[in-house]
Amino acid sequence: MQLNLTENQMYKALVEKDEAFEGIFIAAVKTTGIFCRPTCRARKPKKHNVEYFRTANEALLRGYRPCKVCTPLAPKGEAPEWMKIIFDKIGSDGIQRFSDQDIRSSGIDPNRLRRWFKQNHGMTFQAYLRSLRLGTAFGHLANGEKVISTAYDSGYDSLSGFVHSFKKTIGVVPSKSSGKDIIHIYQLLTPLGPMMAASVEKGICLLEFIDRKMLESELKEISKRLDAPLLTSPGPHLKDLKLQLEQYFSGDRKKFDLPLSTPGSEFQKKVWKGLQKIPYGTTRSYKEQAEALGRPEAVRAVASANGANRIAIIIPCHRVIGTNGKLVGYGGGLWRKKRLLELENGELLK
């Protein structure tokens, strides 16, 4: 399949380990019979020994084997095998404290663990656990449990330590948290790379690919607009979101049925509702979108509102293209926009 990139561009990306090309191509080395991600840390081959494929499946069909260093068959962002023992323990006891000695006894170097969490979650492992504990505590308090029992049940050694951490993160002391909302953030793996999702009780408020440049500012924006702190923890609607995304990427879902929370201007909300009316498998130009909203003169304003959409795929701004039919303006990368449109036209992602 045509990659729409020159070999010089792809080789340069391979040499520089450029993450912007992750998911765009696979590099296969003729002399070793191995294929890699563009970001592989292994020693780079000579230019004339490399050929390129769109997907790992195409490389496999040509007889190449997956690289053991960059594991191109695993979704980018998936926890490596050595990490799974830690996640198993978190899953069975999410409030557990892990000292460096506990981590070493699991056969893992604490420094390696810290680096992995910093790279993939933007925080240290201990900060990740604190966030989980506070998220658990918030849920207990919301269900009417007492502050003191919640503190100890959430893994805190003292009531004062719990109150201090809670107030610092949530903004109020535990006894006054009734009616306070928090934004739960978490990562989801998809065939097009990991995504960051966020939800409040009302609904999903963010869904973006984690390499989107505006992600950090978007998180700050929803925290400000919803007047709620951000916590890394499983939140409401996560189970349904994961299921419906899996159905979408497998070609079994054409319309999402999830509650959404979309703070914004009245014009932005009107544009986002208009996006949800574009049928699956079809596209609309910015001009056509403006006309459908009864604002034919507001093409630029419509494009700006599209760019401000914080809920990718579910609010399908990927279905809007240029008047000339070209793909333009997608925060998750034009290559993802192209793949999403191909998916909706019957070409399953591999």
Q: Cα–Cα distance between 186 and 236 in angstroms, integer?
A: 11
In this prediction, residues 17-23 reach a mean pLDDT of: 79
The pLDDT value recorded for residue 2 is 45
The pLDDT value recorded for residue 289 is 94
pLDDT band with cut points at 50, 70 and 90 for residue 193: confident
Q: Examine the pLDDT at 210 and tell me if it is beyond 70.
A: yes
Its pTM stands at 0.66
Q: Examine the pLDDT at 154 and tell me if it is beyond 70.
A: no
The residue annotated as part of the active site, out of 36, 40, 67, 70, is 36
The residue annotated as part of the active site, out of 40, 67, 205, 317, is 317
At 70-116, the pLDDT tens digits run 888 766 666 667 777 777 776 555 555 678 888 888 888 888 888 87
The pLDDT value recorded for residue 260 is 97
Q: Cα–Cα distance between 337 and 328 in angstroms, integer?
A: 9
- Catalytic site residue 70? no
CA nearest to 341, candidates 315, 321, 323, 318: 318
Residue 64, C-beta contacts closer than 8 angstroms, at least 6 positions apart: 28, 33, 34, 35
Q: Cα–Cα distance between 134 and 137 in angstroms, integer?
A: 5
- Catalytic site residue 36? yes
Contact assessment for residue 303 and residue 286, using Cβ atoms and an 8 Å cutoff: yes
pLDDT band with cut points at 50, 70 and 90 for residue 1: very low
Q: Examine the pLDDT at 217 and tell me if it is beyond 80.
A: yes
CA nearest to 174, candidates 141, 129, 149: 141
Phi then psi for 320, rounded to 5 degrees? Answer: -100, 130
**What is the C-alpha end-to-end distance of the chain, expressed in Å?**
13
